[in-house]
Amino acid sequence: MNKPVVICVDDEQTILDSLEIELQKSLGDEYLIETALGGEEALELIEELIEDNYEVVLVISDQIMPNLKGDELLKRVHEISPTTLKIMLTGQADLEAVSNAIKDAKLYRYMTKPWQPEDLKLTVKEALNSYIQQKKLAEQNAQLQQMNQVLEQLNREQAALISQLHENESRLRQFLEAMPVGVAVLDAEGKPYFINQKAKEIFGKGVVPHTTTEQLSDVYQVYQAGINQKYPVEKLPIVRALKGESAIADDLEIHQGDKIIPLEVWATPIYDAKGNLIYAINTLQNITDRKQAETERQKFIEELFELNCNLELALESESELANAAKRFVPNEFLSHLGHKSLVDVQVGDQVQQEMSVLFSDIRDFTALSETMTPQENFKFINAYLSRMGPAISAHQGFIDKYIGDAIMALFSGEADNAVKAGIAMLNQLAEYNQNRINSGYVPLKIGIGINTGSLMLGTVGEQSRMDTTVISDAVNLASRLEQLTKNYEASLLISHHTLARLQDPSQYNIRLIEKVKVKGKSKAVAVFEVLDGDREEMRDAKLATKSSLEEGLFLYYRQHFREAAERFQEVLTINPWDRVAQIYFERTQQQL
């Protein structure tokens, strides 16, 4: 498989060499770095790479070049490969060229020359991450569209079936015969009553008269998956349904001579108007070639036959589903949009407000989750989130979305609400960790990033499918602060935007640790660590060295590296576990 390609374009070979070296250091062997001396050479190179089935993910081009300038080149690149991301480098503030590139070439970023290596590294990595995410999103959207089409088709079939069932039982039998999955029915005595054509193909036979419940596995050759043993009759889903239980199983196999058919089976009891069990329905799906649609098909089959048994129960379920949907859109979100009910929400509803954004994430969650089964994973995540959610709502915040183990929460009003919520989350975590340690589990670590600023709340999508979202640079910065907690081994980081909006910053234990350059912004953002959620001994050690650390940072950013190193060394002498001091001391050594 060919490596994805990053192409650098400039009319000066020395600049191309510099770009290639920096990108090789930053990206390693995951990407193929190519260079082109001028726009014409770049276009020829791109066409050759595409013909050879290479994926051109990023083009970094100078603006001022002879014959073909950067903005015109990037426009041509966009025509050839629309998904390729483009970054413009130039030493001149040519706003018209940048505007043209943004409009005609969908420019991703604009950077001035000479560039800062760290800025270039971050910008390129973010661009590549953006490309990967956009590619995944496109694939997911395609899958979602296909799934929606399947669901729409299933819904149409369901509506047709309900109408037929009201007319007569003959129509029901016709429908069951036309079902793309196998359907088998036992009567109340446990004898085979009906088997449709699809089920006959799976079993290799139809209804066998006089078959008793105890003979089902033998007569229809039902085995436990992976082992050459008959499936226990009492565990068969359809037998469990005869006892009033709705059952699902995916560990069954049908043996037809040398042929083995793996099945996923759903079974449900059917009652008459007086509540007496009269049938048990068994639906069979050959999961060899239909795994992609198993979840949708399962839901469809279960809901379909529940409607066949009891229309009133189905309507009640539909009402419960509508009520449950409200839990997926926070009431606070609706309130900010000016609505009282989810029914009133329309695509494109939006409002601009100043809010504080909180991101939190569990450290090393992937490694932790690999030690657990899927069921244990969900149990663990829900146990963790059930402790974090109340800490947020108690401080006038609401959770906008869960992203796996990560949380994104919004706070209107005072920025103190978000900071106090973050501290409360860390205190809850400390209590939770004590319980985990007492139970023999490893304690958890989380990182929290908070930023305050203007953002847009609204809805996106189309009439049949929409979602709520928040759009703003403030959101991106909060997410980046949460990522920085991993670098500095900090529990809670806030931006200077949040610090400036605190009612009384002196009531918190806060220290400066970083100045971050934000994408697309000329000014750096100051980052502060809030220590109130740390363990007492760690917090006291950091407070004892706060002055030395901040003096070192001041000297470091003024490029007095030797004096800065002395301050950081003072911090490490008192608190050798201070990761912030360690990082800056290492940086000063690289500059000396």
pLDDT in tens, 316-341: 554 554 454 445 445 555 555 444 44
pTM of the shown model: 0.46
Summarize pLDDT for 183-239 with one digit per residue, the tens: 999 998 889 989 998 888 888 888 998 899 898 889 899 999 888 899 998 999 999
Amino acid symbol at 107? L
Helix/strand/coil for 55: coil
The CATH superfamily assigned to 168-323 is PAS domain (3.30.450.20)
Residue 500: its pLDDT value, please?
Answer: 95
Residue 547 above 50 pLDDT? yes
Residue 281 above 80 pLDDT? yes
CB within 8 Å of 465: residues ≥ 6 apart: 148
C-alpha gyration radius of the chain: 31
Domain boundaries, given as residue ranges, for the chain: 5-137, 168-323, 329-534
The partner residues of 352 in beta bridges, in order of sequence, read 456
Summarize pLDDT for 137-190 with one digit per residue, the tens: 888 888 888 888 888 888 788 777 556 555 767 788 888 888 888 999 999 888
What burial letters (b/e) apply to 255-265, b meaning 16+ CB within 10 Å? eeeeeebbbbb
Amino acid symbol at 452? T
The dotted CATH code for 329-534 is 3.30.70.1230
What is the average pLDDT score of the chain? 85
Helix/strand/coil for 110: strand
Among 8-12, 401-405, 528-532, which range has the highest average pLDDT? 528-532
The dihedral formed by the CA atoms of 425, 430, 435 and 436, expressed in degrees to the nearest 10 = 90
Model confidence at 497, in pLDDT bands (50, 70, 90)?
A: very high
Model confidence at 519, in pLDDT bands (50, 70, 90)?
A: low
Task: State mean pLDDT over 228-254.
Answer: 91
Task: State mean pLDDT over 332-352.
Answer: 51
Summarize pLDDT for 389-424 with one digit per residue, the tens: 999 999 999 998 888 889 999 998 899 999 999 999
Task: State mean pLDDT over 258-270.
Answer: 91
Residue, of 43 and 91, whose pLDDT is higher: 43
Domains 5-137 and 329-534 share a fold: no
Model confidence at 464, in pLDDT bands (50, 70, 90)?
A: low
Q: How far apart are CA 331 and CA 345, in angstroms?
A: 12
Q: If we measure between CA atoms, which residue out of 378, 463, 390, 487 comes closest to residue 429?
A: 390
Q: In this structure, what DSSP letter does residue 404 have?
A: T
Which of 3.30.70.890, 3.30.300.30, 3.40.50.2300, 3.30.413.10 would CATH assign to domain 5-137? 3.40.50.2300
Q: How far apart are CA 195 and CA 207, in angstroms?
A: 6
**How many percent of the chain have pLDDT more than 90?**
46
